[in-house]
Structure 1
Amino acid sequence: MTMLDIQRVLNQDRLLRALTGLNRKAFDELLDSFSLLYEQSRQSQPRQRAVGGGRKARLLSTQEKLFFILFYFKCYPTFDLAGIIFDLHRSQAHEWMHRLQPILEQTLGKQLALPERKLTSVEEFVVRFPEVERVMIDGTEHPIQRPKDPQQQQRNYSGKKRRHTRFSLGSSRPRQASAGIE
């Protein structure tokens, strides 16, 4: 079985963008910081085996490692699929993802490009993005069984659907409604 031809992908900007979300210039800039932090992380971990011992590596260069972790976060394949694409066992794909994720986060954090992942309330959102005046949330109403409790009935009743529903965010169903937060 052969691994994905990473050099071919790196030479085609459209393909690189599709698989990692970055163009070649951005990838190369990120690679410098990533390589430095990866080498620092290797020096802080003691070796389990002598040099040359153990299974032969599939992701040889830091360029391949960076491509792997960017591909993982862009496409979110299962570890089975990532293993097939990169010629790894699924457990190795899992291990590489967990080993490389903190290095990527640290690299992006140093470049001030790390996205805010979890906002738990509207107040946090307002503090983080004070200039935003209006937000559109994409979601879907799913029918639920009518609750027995009158307060729950009132809270879950949808006048739009004339039934009891639960609103969920980020659904990929065809019928989607938008709700504004002001």
Structure 2
Amino acid sequence: MNQQAFDELLPSFAEAYQETLAKKRRWRAAGGGRKATLKTSADKLFFILLYCKCYPTFDLMSVLFGFDRSCAHDWVHRLMPILETALGKRQALPERKIDSIEEFLAKFGEVEAVIIDGTERPVQRPKDAARQKEHYSGKKTAHKETHHR
């Protein structure tokens, strides 16, 4: 995203952020509590766009922006829906789900190759032996109990 696109998105983001604040019930008077490290709307927008672009760890975000990793986590989860709202208002929100190969080809017909990066994760399998076989990949032996002495 270049500076012009950032500047064009900023008013929608600031408006969505203010609407979110207006909906929340205040526990303290305005100006009370600790001061936010991301003070301006531009700071907040830059933070969440950097996160979406690079997906760094919360540890790295905390170093880059000068606060604790738990604050980085909180900011990401607070600002992501606001960014989605701002992008939705500008009709720039990307489509997240494609249900079929036909739908993919209709949107990205010029693509020649697709690379999928995935990680195998353990799945809770049924106790019933017949149904369990449906979920057995033949890999690893995490489903077997082993006792080492």
Partner of 1:108: 87
- Aligned ranges 1:52-67 → 2 under 5 Å: 52-67=31-46
Q: Distance in 2 between matches of 1:37 and 1:24?
A: 20
* 1:118 paired residue number: 97
The TM-score with structure 2 as length reference comes to 0.70
**1:132 corresponds to which letter in structure 2?**
G
Equivalence for 1:39? 18
Q: Which has the higher contact order (CA 8 A, sep 6+)?
A: 2
Q: Which runs of 5+ in 1 are unaligned?
A: 1-21, 141-182
Residues 88 and 134 of structure 1, relative CA distance in 2, 3 Å threshold:
closer
Q: Counterpart of 2:78 in structure 1: which amino acid?
A: R
Matched residue type, 1:90: R
Of 120, 136, 156, which aligns to 2:113? 136
More strand by share: 1
Q: Deviations over 1:72-116 (max 9, x none)?
A: 111111111101111111111111111111111111112121112
Alignment RMSD (CA, Å): 2.6
CA pair 53-109 structure 1, distance change in 2 beyond 3 A? same
Determine which of 98, 102, 106 is the counterpart of 2:77: 98
